[in-house]
Structure 1
Amino acid sequence: MKALLQVKCREDLRDHQILVPFQISNMAIESVAFGTHQFPCRASLHSGYSLIVSKSLFEKLLVPYEGNIHVFVHEGTLHLGPLIGIFTAGFTSSIIRPIGERSLFFSKLLATERKVGAYMFLFGANHINWDDGTMEGFMFTEQGWCKKTVPFPHVVYDRLPNRRTERHRLLAETREKMQKDYAIPWFNPGFFNKWDIHQKLMIEENIVDYLPETHNEVTIDKIEKLLSKFPFIYLKPTNGSLGLGVFKIIYNREEETYYARYKTEEFVNKLQRSTSLEALLSHIMKNRDLSAYLIQQGIPLLKLEESFVDFRVHTNKDEIGKWVVSAMAAKLSGKGSITTHANSGGIIKTIPEIFSDANEQEAVISKLSHASILISEAIDTHMPGFIGEIGFDFGIDKDHRLWLFEANSKPGRSIFYHPKLRNEDNLTRKLSIEYAVYLTENTIKNPGGVFS
């Protein structure tokens, strides 16, 4: 069974004594656990609605502070949870900003724990004490950031910042050891590879129509062939992000000239042209590995004034492990940009700000919601590990057909800069914690089955 209770510590109780409310009185409780720490206990009933733990047991369990938390009773053990570890990198020596510029994002995420009933902490590979099964975790309280020693968590939420960090040997070994040796579910464990996702979705008959034509071998002949079929094409890195390294290639038949639009690493929009495709590619792709690129059909998107529009949809798993749409917004391209990313001058708009007609709003929202849930479920089926959230980039063409451009396992949060999307911002954080509650309960009840 599961209940949400306030956990309190009391000095006057005997060692290893706990007071259990009547709502869980029919359970024979012999021990209490928090994270990977477990101790025998003597349970007595009381008439309140809180779980009261002796001070000595509270300290042995390493419960960081009194608060609301879920309790799960299984096979004589009362589990307090979830204890959620957020795995990341880039820690600083400052307790005020322990994770640098990302401290604000993480403080908002950790502050959401009280609304759901959980304990959350940040940790990195160097904060683990493997010998005694504890971690030095960074927690965010009403007094700000602090460090607490906590047991190994019930679940780990992967928030590594980029692919380069993810490939670091120590971080990869930490993830593997936690899952294999300690059977700790690790959700959102890696960045998606565009080609890998495309191949897996291509076998789903009800999804194929959303996918632009895509090839993973970049050759002059292939580009020429696609440019004869479509008004323009894109060259995209299979492991890219933020729109960096993306090239829009156009062929003007009247001028017999090829054009390439792209942005530099300094986020400056550039336009390059040549009468020779080979010369153009040689210039823009110098020092780039073509084998790490895809060719993708270009889609003429809906436009608002002089900007083209695409859409970001966030999906999350909820407290029963079901996919739901948690946020949706439109993104308008900046002047001269081939993408709608904020760092290229992109602007965030709500759906009603794009479509003034109520029926059109409803149709677009319905279309985006249906596709994003369908594709979330397909990715979840085909990809290994535990996936708790996905960010999708969709486009709608001039014929109102919907296209999937990209799926992101660690979606950016630029759409939440919009003041009218604050509720969605809160919801995506809340759902991540609720999914951790779901994983915790399932791991406690069936520790082997959750990984099958």
Structure 2
Amino acid sequence: MIKSYKLERFETNEKIIYLPVSFNQENIQAISLGSLQAQAVCRKHPNGRNVVSISSSLAEELALPPFITDIYLFCHDNTIILGPLIGIFTSGFTSFLMKPIGERSAFFSKLLSLQSSLGVIPFVFGENHIDWENGLVRGHFFIRNHWETHVVPLPNVIYDRLPNRRSEKKQGYQDIKARLQKEYGIPWYNPGFFNKLDVFERLENDEGAIRYLPETHAFQSFSQIERMMSKYGHVFIKPKNGSLGLGVHQFTFDRDTEDYLCRFQDKGGKNRLIKSSSFEKLLQRVIPAKVLNRMLIQQGIHLIKSEGRAVDFRVHTNKDENGEWQVSAIAAKVAGEGSVTTHLHNGGKVKSLQELFTDPEQCERTNEKLRKAAISLSSALERNMEGFIGEIGFDFGIDTLGRVWLFEANSKPGRSIFSHPDLKSFELLTRKLSLSFGLYLTQQVMQRPQETFT
């Protein structure tokens, strides 16, 4: 099992590194950091200390940032690998020193501030920060409560934090990703936003997932929707690639008045309820025909309620430094008045499970159900999706009979639930685990490079 060590420096023109006395490796011929490698004299620490001591000359040749005080040591092919360097790739950079990534700077500053406690070396960069000729990158670091830029080697692994599908679809991003993977062998984790329909189609034959899947289809016909409404009482029509609950429509049929009803949020953010005696006319009124091909139809679930309002659950899972899935956060979300979703911007409210369930036994049963579903579905997604998945945000519903249902899986989950004061510790855990997975992936690349990239 690898561990992190304290890192010290000493002044000399010689390229020397002293290894901790507990680090048992011989015949070391080179030292590397990210994409850079240097020849160096490598010895056990002369004072018998369990720390890493590196000469100023060697640190400079490896472009090791001056503020690094904790580091991991890996050994592969007679080379000591320092790090790992974890590059967090994103877009939306600005020229402002206080907010280099705009409004998302606060999130990234929290993520990068974990460097010393985890022993990894994380930095944020974008497509314009790469020096391809020299294999270097101008990384953004958050050190001692302020932002700094340092030129460092290309990283060992890359954590994809692009903010939206639009930036992900740009050809420049695709080219950069392909080049870093093929020329430098750098794996990316959490690449790609999930397509909602694609997730369901890939999981529908997986034994570990099928019990959690509501009936879900691409739009085909009006009769298809009417059939599902007759069977389930109500259906949801929502974008295959939507987020934040935007574009979600709930259709129901009132047997007393024989009217079709649709609940949705309009472009102005107002909750709307529209009725019609004709389902086809109602659908055409609220969802343009040209948009329907981009929508999916999903079975409605009769959810448990709190004070008469529907409740669903957000569950975060992360892979840890051992490559194992962990549940890192669970929260309940209560729908706003008249809202078709539980999103906060639409009047929803976040609650802890303890707040939602006054009965401790019911609270614990629900917690276990959600954890079991999240771990099972995380493994199923990993089996059925391409790329390295390090974190997932699940939206679950629980029906009035106690059954758990999957509504959505998000590869880049939002963090609005962490505004709740009782979820602060979970917010920290999710950040730690998102970087810890980079540590695991670095080891996998060294141990099985061909398996990792084929």
TM-score range, shorter chain: over 0.9
Q: Distance in 2 between matches of 1:252 and 1:451?
A: 54
The aligned residue for residue 52 of structure 2 is 51
SS of residue matched to 1:22? coil
Task: Please state how far the C-alpha of 1:207 moved relative to its aligned partner.
Answer: 2.4
Q: Which whole-Å CA distance do the structure 2 matches of 1:215 and 1:418 have between them? A: 34
Q: Does 1:9 align with 2:9?
A: yes
Q: Could you tell me whether the CA contact under 8 Å between 2:34 and 2:154 is conserved in 1?
A: yes
1:268 and 2:267 aligned: no
Between the aligned residues of both structures, percent identity stands at 46
| Ranges in structure 2 where 5+ consecutive residues have no aligned partner | none
DSSP-derived class of the 2:22 partner: helix
* Partner residue, 1:386: 388
Gaps of 5+ in 1: none
Q: Classify the secondary structure of the residue corresponding to 1:448.
A: helix
Q: Which residue of structure 2 lines up, in the alignment, with residue 194 of structure 1?
A: 196
Matched with 2:21 is 22
Cα offset, 1:449, TM superposition: 2.3
Seen in structure 2, the aligned counterparts of structure 1 residues 379 and 162 have a Cα distance that, compared at 3 Å, is same
CA RMSD of aligned residues (A): 1.3
1:218–1:293 Cα contact (<8 Å) kept:
no
Query: How far 1:265 sits from its partner (Å)?
Result: 3.4
Query: Alpha carbons of 1:391 and 1:116: their partners in 2 closer, same or farther (altered >3 Å)?
Result: same
Distance in 2 between residues matched to 1:218 and 1:344, nearest whole Å: 29
Q: Output the TM-score relative to the length of structure 1.
A: 0.97
> 3-state SS of the aligned residue for 2:177?
helix
Counterpart in the other structure of 2:121:
119
Once the two structures are TM-superposed, the CA of residue 288 in structure 1 deviates from its matched residue by 4.6
Equivalent AA in structure 2 for residue 409 of structure 1: S
Deviations 1:126-165 (A, max 9, x none): 1111111111111000141011111100000000001111
Deviations 1:168-215 (A, max 9, x none): 111121112111221101000000111111011110234222111111
Partners of 2:438 and 2:267 lie apart in 1 by: 36
Is structure 2 residue 414 aligned with structure 1 residue 412?
A: yes
C-alpha displacement of 1:14: 4.0
Residue 122 of structure 1: SS of its match in structure 2?
A: strand
Q: 1: CA distance between counterparts of 2:281 and 2:418?
A: 41
Q: Which residue in 2 is equivalent to 1:304? A: 306
Deviations 1:19-72 (A, max 9, x none): 122112443221110001000110122212221111111011111123101111
- CA shift at 1:266, angstroms? 3.4
* Structure 1 partner of 2:401: 399
Native 8 Å contact 1:218 1:294 kept in 2: no
The CA deviation string for residues 219-277 of structure 1, in whole angstroms up to 9 with x for no partner, is: 21111111111211000111110000110011112212111111123322112222211
* Corresponding pairs, count: 451
Question: What are the Cα deviations for residues 373-404 of structure 1, in whole angstroms up to 9, with x where unaligned?
Answer: 01100100111110000010111111111111
Q: Do 2:319 and 2:325's aligned partners in 1 also have CA atoms closer than 8 Å? A: yes
| C-alpha spacing 1:152/1:26, structure 2 compared with 1 (3 Å) | closer
Distance 2:289 2:114 in 1: 44
The answer to which of 270-279 and 359-368 deviates more is: 270-279
Quick one: which amino acid aligns to residue 53 of structure 1? I
For 1:379, what is the secondary structure of its paired residue?
A: helix
Q: How does 1:435-450 map to 2 (within 5 A)?
A: 435-450=437-452
Q: Is the 8 A contact 1:113 1:433 kept in 2?
A: no
Aligned residue for 2:132? Answer: 130
Aligned partner of residue 39 in structure 1, secondary structure: strand
* C-alpha contact (below 8 Å) 2:303/2:311 kept by paired residues: yes
Matched letter for residue 48 of structure 1 = R
The within-5 A match list for 1:133-152 is: 133-152=135-154
CA distance in 1, matches of 2:216, 2:439: 38
Matched with 1:318 is: 320
Q: Which amino acid aligns with 1:382?
A: N
8 Å contact kept, 2:89–2:158: yes
Using the TM superposition, name which of 214-223 and 154-163 deviates more.
214-223
Query: Which 4+ runs in 1 deviate beyond 3 A?
Result: none
CA distance in 2 between partners of 1:15 and 1:143 (Å): 33
Aligned-partner residue type, residue 219 of structure 1: S
| CA displacement, residues 54-98 of structure 1 (integer Å, 9 cap, x when unaligned) | 111101111112310111112211111110000111111011101
Partner Cα distance (2:297, 2:289) in 1? 18
Q: Given residue 90 of structure 1, which amino acid in structure 2 is its aligned partner?
A: G
Match of 2:219 in 1: 217
Determine which of 182, 200, 207 is the counterpart of 2:209.
207
Paired with 2:308 and 2:273, the residues of 1 have a C-alpha distance of 17
Task: Specify the alignment match of 2:297 in structure 1.
Answer: 295
CA contact (8 A) 1:218 1:295 kept: no
Q: CA separation in 2, counterparts of 1:210 and 1:143?
A: 44
CA–CA distance in 2 between the matches of 1:85 and 1:248? 41
Q: Is the 8 A contact 1:191 1:409 kept in 2?
A: yes
| Aligned counterparts of 2:25 and 2:395: Cα–Cα separation in 1 | 50
Amino acid at match of 2:4: L
| Structure 1 residue 315, shift from structure 2 partner | 0.5
Check conservation: 1:3, 1:72, Cα contact below 8 A: no
- State whether residues 319 and 434 of structure 2, in contact with CA within 8 Å, keep that contact through their aligned partners in structure 1: yes
Q: Which residue identity does 1:57 align to in structure 2?
A: L
